Structure 1
Amino acid sequence: MTLLNFLKISKTMYKSTKLKNLQKVYNSKNMSNFIKYAEHKPIEKIRNIGISAHIDSGKTTLTERILFYTGRIEAMHEVKGKDNVGATMDSMELERQRGITIQSAATYTLWNDHNINIIDTPGHVDFTVEVERALRVLDGAILVLCAVGGVQSQSLTVNRQMKRYNVPCLAFINKLDRMGANHLRVLSQMRSKLNHNAAFVQLPIGLENECKGIIDLIEQKSIYFEGAFGETLKFDQIPKDMLTESNDRRHELIEHLSNVDEKLGELYLEEKEITEEDIKSAIRRSCIKRTFTPVFVGTALKNKGVQPLLDGVLSYLPNPGEVENHAFKEAEGEEPIEVLLDPARNNSKPFVALAFKLEAGKFGQLTYMRCYQGMLKKGDTIYNARTQRKVRIARLVRMNSNAMEDVNEVYAGDIFALFGVDCASGDTFVTDLKDNISLESIYVPEPVVSMSISPHNSKDRDNFSKAVARFTKEDPTFHFWFDNDNKETIVSGMGELHLEIYAQRMEREYNCPVVLGKPKVAFRETLVGPCEFDYLHKKQSGGQGQFARVIGVLEPLPPHRNTLLEFIDETVGTNVPKQFIPGVKRGFLAMSEKGLLSGHKLSGLKFRLMDGAHHIVDSSELAFFLAAQGAVREVFEHGVWQILEPIMTVEVNAPEEFQGNVIAQLNKRHGIVTGTEGTEGWFTLYAEVPLNNMFGYAGELRSSTQGKGEFTMEYCRYSPCLPETQENLVMEYQKATGTLPEKEKKKKKN
């Protein structure tokens, strides 16, 4: 063996040995991480929190920092980052491209020997149901506020959702490094707009480019974040130039707390010494009761203020055992009784869980659940309380964004996921059906925007139906139906972005490009006044012919019944034999399917058959069917027709400062205001507006009310449309059918 060969072999052996050693280290590290995260903690050491805020306030960036500092991930990535990786919680390709959160994502991590389950929620109003169902199952939340934008429209919506589910929260003023950051203005808005009894527990040391660290007002020390990623905390004394401000703010904190907490209030009134522990205990008690909101500060992007916020989550937000969760016990013929669930982990009470989110994964439907009572092991059997179907648990997982980690058992307070469970969002699961227990379901807002949808290629219909079936099951605010009046498929959602995202997902995930468009309005045609008819249908072509004569009146129904069609047989004698009357009725109803003015259905008409004639041989039901159709055509030529349009009852809710704008917009859309109400700086306006004028209103309302306005709309009645609308509809129909008069054709050419 030459020296060169010996050196080559030695080098290869060295490399392989090194690789094996590295693999061992990696495997042991992964195994220790798995053991560390899979270990079940006592209920006092569990926190279930959500991170909610307005669009682009830094929720996902904050979650990324939390995962990094708790050791859950080894490297931080930015939302819409330059490295094309993207944030951990934005696992969908569309989320990474657009830089927005579309779906809420769950993860869990460890901090100071406490297990924290985190749900990162979207900020856009179009995905509000994701926030709704996350807050339904959480015990606490972090309300992130932008130091520049302050309390924005979606902050108000999130605040209302937290109030609905009685969720305690901490506030985190983020983005202090941005130009125009003003934490004092944000606190003022929290008190005035959100009605929070809030006070600082921290102050920033410098703003914008000068943001160096934070001051802890409770422990009266400054904290600086050193190291490449701010992972090293350096504690120091409060800077001299900020001593006066920090003392004032600490005094303000104690005052706000003493107003809502009896124990601290007594110490304050008796002028006794108030210790750090007294303040922390008072914050925890009042925060859980939702009577006080502690305000933290920092900048997640510049890695400042995240670790103290995590300490605040452990110190001030409740564990699952401190939150009262109720279920309803139902018995036949009796009112449901409210039952308090027991989350203690050492009890033998039956398992109760709520399915709050469905997601189609690589291995089938993934169902996210929150356990409220009892425990569940792999291999156990559970029942859906609504459908009473039995499910055997083959696999239990806990989620880390889109990655899954298997566990053998889950306890009260845990958030976990199951495979292969056929259920709907908001279903209750139990191990014993005898108790008849069910949890309160999730509030689902009604959709506000509708659009027509169709696959670009007719060959893609199978993929299209699969995509629609999946998305409507996952998202209760995404509705899909077929409009028989206009023969088109309609989808409804919370906004144009909502529907646009689903259209893009159909193309990416199901290879099915779709066309979205404005849906047609179901107009109707009716007569202005009664019109008589006398129509003879006669046909002879050898053999048995056709003979039928119908005489009567076609007249409009009163306005409150203008959506109906009526047929009345007023004949006397045998001029029209009774066996042919159904043929006349069928002929009238068949002609009503498509009007001759604009192609829409006829409605609000009464067909009164008064007389007629028949032939002993040539008359038949078909002949009278054709005679009735001819009679309607005759009335179309001689009668005066008009088009009816659907009128909607619209209810708008927005801040009082925008009332003038909202009324002006509805007037522009030919709306009639029927009433207004006002409470606590908000107004509710009721109006009646034609449906044809309501398209695009959701976007216009949001832009004119800084995103704070909301509206609901429901069908009210049919009413005659404006002459110009009728003229346009008739002209469009004539163009489509090629019956445009010569004068109009010449005008069009000129």
Structure 2
Amino acid sequence: MFLSRGPSLWRVATALTVLRNFAALPQPKADEQNPLTNVRNIGISAHIDSGKTTLTERILFYTGRLHAIHEVRGKDGIGAKMDHMELEREKGITIQSAATYCQWKDTSINIIDTPGHVDFTIEVERALRVLDGAVLVLCSVGGVQSQSITVDRQMRRYSVPRLAFINKLDRSGADPWRVLHQMRTKLNLNTAPLQLPIGLEDKLAGLIDLIDRQAYHFEGKFGEDIRQVPLTAEQAEEVERRRLELVERVANVDEELGELFLMEEPIDADTLRAAIRRATIALNFVPLFLGSAYKNKGVQLLLDGVADFLPSPLDVAYSALDVNRGEAPVALSGTRDGPLVALAFKLEEGKYGQLTYMRIYSGCVRKGDPVMNSTTGKRIKVPRLVRIHSNELQDIEEASAGDIVAMFGVECASGDTFTDGSVRYALTSINVPEPVMSLAIMPKTRESTANFSKALNRFTREDPTFKVSADAETGETIISGMGELHLDIYVERMKREYKVEAEVGKPRVNYREAITKRVEFDYLHKKQSGGQGQFGRVVGYMEPIEGDTRVEFQNEIVGNAIPPNYIPSCEKGFIEACNSGSLIGHPVEGVKIALTDGAAHSVDSSELAFKLACLYAFRDCYPRAAPVVLEPIMDVEVRAPAEFQGTIIGDLNRRKGLIQGSEQEGDDVVLGAHVPLADMFGYSTALRSMTQGKGEFTMEYARHAPVSADKQAELASSHKKARSS
């Protein structure tokens, strides 16, 4: 409930209300803990530079977890609490998601602050997988930007109810009503503001709460004192108009409020608040809050909104797969009384060993308890259990349903499920995008080879989108990731954390190959060199799968022309062949391979013989399937002063970009384009030169698409020369 009385009530949420979370005091017993109805697990997500970390810093201050506010790239050299990595504080961006917890009035809140840069999208992905609600932060000047759309898509993927917070109302050019329109049109959200701003830009003085029809000014050094002020006649008229729009929006998706609205009954604050909560949890409405985190205005009202409108663990229907019953879906209780079911969603390597972040969906876990990894079937004891406050750890004795905690010293992988052994449930895994860019890398000195290997091993365990492989032809170590910044950060971390100076090759694009027409094959693999030979005949076809990237194998043989025990070897042979196409040596995707007939020899046939038969059959018929090379196409958004629009469009055209649209936003123009990744290297430097340092851009992977015929010939020729040399 929003507070409508004097400033003293706003000071209740101080450190005294959260002392039970500190290591200095004994841990509460289970029956002393907050009921699950008062628990919120939320993430804070947005486009880069929308103010997520600044907002989290204020939340921690107002809830008593911090006793001083520090800024991102702060002048005092300390920096924001949630950006604890040295690199994050230097660059002023969030690289790794950071977890914390706090208490606001009667509500316990677990928070994950996520990165805004698209290269670190996996951090947002795995955070949203385990959260019950989220806050989508939008800049009042930038509005709905490219990463805002990506985050919205991720929230929809995991059915996460969210609040929206339009930040930076103090900035020049702030226009929350334009952002509201973009949310409704670009994101297709049913949303309405719950507040009105009192002034904008440098005249921002406070906010008016539409539910309670109350106006507030935020005073004191850090906006901690909130003073209620009377509404003017003009404000009161605007409040009634906007409140009616809010009621209409909610009434359209909530039956109870809809009946009252149609009967023209008066709708009080409690009735409206309850309807907004129901509609938000049902994913039918997004409450919109306003404010300025940097200027300390509106954050307390947002915290009230988190408590009032976002779901508790009891409001969310959780399910798992029962491994012992053929992965049949099973509902989880979501309470402390059920069997333990927890998901390891993030790993970090620290000086004390592996730190495993986990969300508990059911039951309890205590330090020293035996638990089972459902993925591997291994049983272990929990050596150490901790709560996380950014880079600080607090030992606890137990955790239960609704908690986000971490275990130390447990070997597992991201996405593993832990149970108490009474059941063997598995939780659905996290969506992991494929890397789009690669670099060849090697240590400069032989002495640093050991640390080089340690660093790569750690980074691959922590980040599922960071891949390491060896080039089969050159023997080089290849690292792959989501973009230039993503790989640059890991090279820099290797230097700082492991003292490894590395030589880095030119960026490589992760091309793919595909076929464009159906072809049939009939291949006999026969080899005799004394003793048992090799014999395997395979007959079938392969054809492209439209709009899919899978490699699909089907056994369409009627009878036992090929003995059933050799079919898995046939599949292995085809899959192995698809790992390297003959055009440029990159993986083949979007192909269906089917076996329709074959032949076996009673003596000379074997698993190896059929695997080789399928591998050679694929290589033999692949050139006849009109193969093409696919390259990653990036969705690029460029923002710059309108005077540079012509120059930017001309440069994008030279980079073989296809302009998708343009939009005027104040003095700036926002251009959207699809551009091949291979032509985007060095674009940040070029854009700064073109726009006198005033332009900025973001890009994210959109799809793979065929390259031009001349480029395909050039790539194939280069691959052929590399192989021959």
Q: TM-score range by the shorter chain?
A: 0.7 to 0.9
String of CA shifts for 1:92-129, please: whole Å, max 9, x gaps.
01001111000000000011021100000000000000
What is aligned with 1:148? 141
Match of 1:695 in 2: 678
1:338 aligns with 2:335: no
Corresponding residue for 2:698?
707
Provide the TM-score with structure 1 as the length reference.
Answer: 0.70
Q: Using the alignment, how far apart are the partners of 1:189 and 1:307 within structure 2?
A: 25
2-structure distance, mates of 1:716, 1:306: 49
Indicate yes or no: 2:298 matched with 1:317.
no
CA distance in 1, matches of 2:674, 2:208: 49
Matched residues in 2 for 1:195 and 1:407: separation? 43
1:265 maps to 2:253 = no
Which of 405, 423, 426 is the matching residue for 2:415? 426
Q: What does the per-residue CA deviation read over 1:720-742, in whole Å, with 9 as the maximum and x for residues that have no partner?
A: 96579959997x999xx9xxxxx
Distance change in 2, residues 1:696/1:510 (3 Å): farther
Aligned residues of 2:372 and 2:379 also touching (Cα < 8 A): yes
Q: Distance in 2 between matches of 1:706 and 1:667?
A: 16
What CA distance in whole angstroms lies between the structure 2 residues aligned with 1:414 and 1:568? 61
2:372 counterpart of 1:383: yes
Q: Which residue of 1 aligns with 2:115?
A: 122
Q: How does 1:485-634 map to 2 (within 5 A)?
A: 485-518=473-506
- Amino acid paired to 1:384: N
Letter in 1 for 2:266: E
**SS in structure 1 at match of 2:64:** coil
Task: State how far apart, in whole Å, the 1-side matches of 2:204 and 2:17 are.
Answer: 40
* Per-residue deviation, residues 692-741 of structure 1 (Å, max 9, x unmatched): x85354886998996365334499999996579959997x999xx9xxxx
Q: CA deviation at 1:164?
A: 0.4
Compute the displacement of 1:241 (Å).
Answer: 3.1
Q: Answer yes or no: is the 8 Å Cα contact 1:448–1:698 preserved in 2.
A: no
1:129-170 Cα distance to aligned partner (Å, 9 max, x none): 000000000000000000000000100000000000000000
Q: Which residue of 2 aligns with 1:574?
A: none
**Inter-CA distance 495–720: structure 2 relative to 1 (3 Å threshold):** closer
Paired with 1:280 and 1:290, the residues of 2 have a C-alpha distance of: 15
| Among 472, 480, 500, the residue aligned to 2:460 | 472
Identify which of 196, 206, 209 aligns with 1:203: 196
1:450 matched to 2:431? The reply is no
The structure 2 residue matched to 1:439, chosen from 411, 427, 439, is 427
Residues 52 and 142, structure 1, Cα contact 8 Å, conserved in 2 = yes
Pick from 392, 404, 409: which aligns with 1:403?
392
Please tell me the residue identity of whatever aligns with 1:76: I
Query: Does residue 1:97 correspond to 2:126, yes or no?
Result: no
| Further displaced range: 385-394 or 67-76 | 385-394
Partners of 1:377 and 1:105 lie apart in 2 by 23
Contact 1:190/1:196 (8 A) holds in 2:
yes
Q: After superposition, what is the alpha-carbon deviation per residue over 1:512-567, rounded to whole angstroms, capped at 9, x for unaligned?
A: 011222257999xxxxxxxxxxxxxxxxxxxxxxxxxxxxxxxxxxx999xxx999
The residue number in structure 2 matching 1:253 is 246
1:302 paired with 2:295, answer yes
Q: How many residues align?
A: 580
Distance 1:467 1:646 in 2: 38
Check if 1:223 corresponds to 2:200.
no
Deviations 1:15-39 (A, max 9, x none): xxxxxxxxxxx99997895477954
Amino acid at match of 1:490: I
Alignment pair present for 1:62 and 2:45? no
Of 454-463 and 169-178, deviating more is: 454-463
Cα distance in 2, alignment partners of residues 184 and 38 from structure 1: 47
Q: What's the counterpart of residue 12 of structure 2? A: none
- Evaluate the alpha carbon distance shift between residue 460 and residue 442 of structure 1 in structure 2; reply closer, same or farther with a 3 A threshold: same
Deviations 1:52-76 (A, max 9, x none): 0000000000000000000111111
CA distance in 2, matches of 1:293, 1:246: 19
Q: Deviations over 1:602-636 (max 9, x none)?
A: xxxxxxxxxxxxxxxxxxxxxxxxxxxxxxxxxxx
* Structure 1 residues 437 and 27: CA distance shift in structure 2, 3 A: closer
How has the CA–CA distance of structure 1 residues 251 and 465 changed in structure 2, closer, same or farther, with 3 Å as cutoff? Answer: same
1:78 aligns with 2:71: yes
Q: Which residue of 2 aligns with 1:640?
A: none
Distance 1:32 1:372 in 2: 20
Q: Is residue 481 of structure 1 aligned with residue 472 of structure 2? A: no
Q: Describe the superposition over 1:666-689 as per-residue Cα deviations: whole angstroms up to 9, x where unpaired.
A: 997799x9xx9xxxxxxx9999xx
- Could you tell me which residue of structure 1 aligns to residue 575 of structure 2? none
Cα separation, partners in 2 of 1:578 and 1:339, compared to 1, 3 Å? closer
**Deviation (angstroms), 1:436:** 2.7
C-alpha deviations, 1:156-195, integer Å up to 9, x for none? 0000000000000000000000000000000000000011
Alpha-carbon separation, structure 1, partners of 2:200 and 2:16 = 44
Asked if 1:370 is matched to 2:369, the reply is no
Name 1:242's counterpart in structure 2. 235
CA distance in 2 between partners of 1:489 and 1:655 (Å): 29
- Check whether the contact 1:379–1:394 (CA below 8 A) recurs between aligned residues: yes
1:275 match = 268
Letter matched to residue 678 of structure 2? F
Question: Larger Rg: 1 or 2?
Answer: 1
CA distance in 1, matches of 2:263, 2:430: 46
Q: What's the counterpart of residue 566 of structure 2?
A: none
1:435 Cα deviation from its structure 2 partner: 2.8
Gaps of 5+ in 1: 1-25, 524-558, 570-576, 580-599, 602-644, 677-683, 688-692, 738-750
Contact 2:637 2:673 in 1 (8 A): no
Of the structure 1 ranges 514-523 and 469-478, higher mean CA displacement relative to structure 2 is found in 514-523
Describe the shift of the 1:456–1:712 C-alpha distance in structure 2 as closer, same or farther (beyond 3 A): farther
SS in 2 for 1:83: coil
Cα distance in 2 for residues equivalent to 1:233 and 1:518: 55
Partner of 2:184: 191
Counterparts of 1:516 and 1:80 in 2: how far apart (Å)?
A: 28
**Whole-Å Cα distance in 1 between the matches of residues 220 and 485 of structure 2?**
40
Matched position secondary structure for 1:117: strand
TM-score (norm 2): 0.73
Whether 1:131 aligns to 2:121 is: no
Are the aligned partners of 2:119 and 2:482 in contact in 1 as well (CA < 8 Å)? yes
Distance 2:504 2:699 in 1: 26
2:42 corresponds to 1:49: yes
Q: What's the counterpart of residue 560 of structure 2?
A: none
Q: Which digits, 9 at most, give the CA deviation of each residue in 1:340-382, with x for residues without a partner?
A: 100123x2x2100000000011211100000000111111010
Question: Could you say if the C-alpha distance between residues 723 and 131 of structure 1 is closer, same or farther in structure 2, counting changes exceeding 3 Å?
Answer: closer
Percent of residue pairs identical: 50
Structure 2 CA distance for partners of 1:453 and 1:217, relative to 1, 3 Å:
same
Distance 1:271 1:160 in 2: 37
2:545 aligns with none
Taking a change above 3 Å as real, the CA distance of residues 656 and 708 of structure 1, as seen in their structure-2 partners, is closer
Bigger shift: residues 187-196 or 235-244: 235-244
CA distance in 2, matches of 1:324, 1:239: 45
Report if aligned partners of 1:651, 1:685 keep a CA contact under 8 Å in 2.
no
